[in-house]
Amino acid sequence: MASETPAMPGLLDLPNEVLLQIIGNTNVEDIESFSSCNKRIRSLFEPALQLHMKRKIKYSKTELGCSQTQINPHAVTLLRDVLESPAIALYPRNVVIGECVDVLDTYWPGWFPGRSQAAILEIKDAIARSTELLSAHLDACPYIRTSDKQRWKREICEGKERTSVIFLIMLFPNLESITIFGASYCMSEAVENIAAAQQKYPESTHPLQYLTTVRLEQSSQPSGVWFDYLEPFTSLKSVRLLAGKLVQGLYTDYSIMDVDDDSDEDSSENEDADNDELEEEEDHKEDNDDVEKDAQIEEGYKHKIVESGGGITRLSFRDSAIDASKFNKVLRGTKALQIFEYNFSADISFSSSIEWQPALILQYLLLYASHSLVSLDLTGMKGCSWNVCGSEDRPYTETPRHFQVLKQLCVQDGIFIRGKGRIGSPQSATKPWWSITKIYEMADVLPASLEQLTLFPSFDHRDQISDAFRDFPELKEHKLPRLKEIKLGGGLQLDESMKLACEKVGTSVVEFSQE
């Protein structure tokens, strides 16, 4: 019996509903006899098993919207299937959201050839079949404002794919990851309401409660994708990884303006007048109690970003341009960030005037993650030292040396350089772009916990890097005892005598050409 029992979960890889049905229809006296009737169970419930496996294969990874290479079935057809067979909603674990098309017969040259007439007829049939069920589900959904529910229904029935996709996301209870190539304001709003509900009613079940990974990818459209689409997800306690590629994040000012007393009095009078008008209108409405209840629920779901959340352990953005203020807002809500990766792209920045601010980002990381950060990868454009990027007048005090458990660090050698003022131009062959006034030693910049250091050049002239290693062999034992490997990329080099000196104290130096 002991040898057979562990195999049962593998055999009965079924949703709880199917398992309960099997157990309820199988007469057994003990676990041993239950284990011995596997063949009988299979013969009795082979159709259920086949349906389960078919759905698992089909829906575990669900692709919505369109990509350059394929046109996926319209989201409203899947919505119809879910409304008619709610068990389908249990299967999606990973969802990929492509570009959503809001006009059924849209043709985008060079993007995709458009849907066939047969596909359009299928979509219209799906809309017709699901209209009644759609109304009931929308009415019962607490995460959509009452005032918006009719609009959502109208847009879904018009074949607007974005709205259908967002509503589907809210119906999948077991989602673990979402990859977004296209998004809309409606998605941000829905996620905000879900996050607020999770905070206010933590004992209840909510959509996205198992979501751990959210990725944002650049679409082939010129506008790309924006960091703002990710921000609402930071309030979901289950999310561990936020990642993106070719992402833009512009500076935003979230400060609230103060209002003087006179304005407050005027506002109160206006609000009183508005309330009187609303009361007169509500006299002509039915179900006032329900309306009031909905309003209370919506008030409870108002989204407060940052103060909640705290579960994010990794932020990773490649070839992106994100203002430091965006990272500040997200980092303020983390409690145990372990990995931070940000590769600044000057090409993306050019269209949005976003600056490369490594010192400021480092300052935020030290403020919110100095106790937990294990790996830091922060690289970007050439031509600046880190202290100048933060502020030309601010002392260079926020160095990685203050991280308590940092083991891996990948940065540019500008982190060791103190620069002051521009004395040339990036195109100048004779003068450096920055006047270098000081080279910091490694022990002054790096934390004692560091095990691996990877450096890339910040400037086109690379002869200054050896100064950072000047007293490293003597200081290594006391200041950097765990540093085992130093990797130099992009043309950075050390002379052979310095390499040998590093190796004698237990630190290998590896040079590679990758930029």
Let me know: does 174 contact 94? Beta carbons within 8 Å.
no
Name the average pLDDT for the chain. Answer: 77
Using one digit for the tens of pLDDT, what is the confidence trace for 451-483?
999 999 887 655 567 888 888 888 888 899 999
Element (H, E) at 342: strand 339-344
Q: Return the minimum-mean-pLDDT range out of 180-194, 409-423, 436-450, 494-508.
A: 409-423
Cβ neighbors of 321 (< 8 A, separation 6 or more) are 247, 248, 249, 344, 345, 346, 348, 349, 352, 354
> Quick one: pLDDT at residue 448?
94
Which of 173-187, 263-277, 309-323 is least confident?
Answer: 263-277
Q: What confidence score (pLDDT) does residue 418 get?
A: 72
> Three-class SS of residue 377?
strand
For residue 6, pLDDT over 60 is answered with no
Best-predicted range by mean pLDDT (59-73, 122-136, 349-363, 377-391): 122-136
- Return the pLDDT at 243: 95
Residue with tokens 């540093």: 483
Q: How far apart are CA 319 and CA 325, in angstroms?
A: 18
pLDDT at 144 over 60: yes
Q: What is the pLDDT of residue 68?
A: 56
Tell me which amino acid residue 248 is. Q
Average pLDDT over residues 302-308: 37
User: For residue 91, is pLDDT > 60?
Assistant: yes
Q: What pLDDT score does 329 carry? A: 86
Find the range with the poorest average confidence among 51-60, 73-82, 175-184, 280-289.
280-289
Residue 119 has pLDDT above 70, yes or no: yes
Q: Model confidence at 487, in pLDDT bands (50, 70, 90)?
A: very high
Of 251 and 23, the one with more pLDDT? 251
Question: Mean pLDDT: which of 110-114, 264-268, 302-306, 309-313 is highest?
Answer: 309-313
Global pTM? 0.77
Band of the pLDDT at 237, cuts 50, 70, 90?
A: confident
pLDDT at 60 over 50: yes
Is 60 exceeded by the pLDDT of residue 281? no
Does pLDDT of 59 surpass 50?
Answer: yes
Amino acid at site 144? I
Write down the pLDDT at residue 264. 47
Whether residue 208 has pLDDT greater than 50: yes
pLDDT at residue number 133: 93
Tokens of 509: 């130096």
pLDDT at 472: 87
In this structure, are strands 94-97 and 339-344 parallel, antiparallel, or unpaired?
unpaired
316-334: pLDDT as tens digits: 999 899 999 999 989 988 8
8 Å CB contact between 466 and 496: no
Q: What percent of the chain has pLDDT over 90?
A: 33
Record the tokens describing residue 226, joined without a space.
Answer: 């924006």
Question: What pLDDT does 209 receive?
Answer: 93
Give the Cα separation of 440 and 393 in Å (integer).
17
- Measure the CA angle with vertex 306, ends 352 and 202; round to 5°: 140
In whole angstroms, give the CA distance from residue 16 to residue 3. Answer: 24
- Higher-pLDDT residue of 439, 261: 439
Tokens of 499: 């390499």
Above 50 in pLDDT, residue 262? Answer: no
DSSP 427: T
Rounded to 5, what percent of the chain is helix, strand, coil? Answer: 45, 15, 40
| DSSP line for 12-67 | T---HHHHHHHHHT---SSHHHHHHTHHHHHHHHHHHHHHHHHHHHHHSEEEESB-
Predicted confidence (pLDDT) at residue 364 exceeds the cutoff of 90: yes
Residue 23 has pLDDT above 50, yes or no: yes
- Region 237-256: mean pLDDT is 80
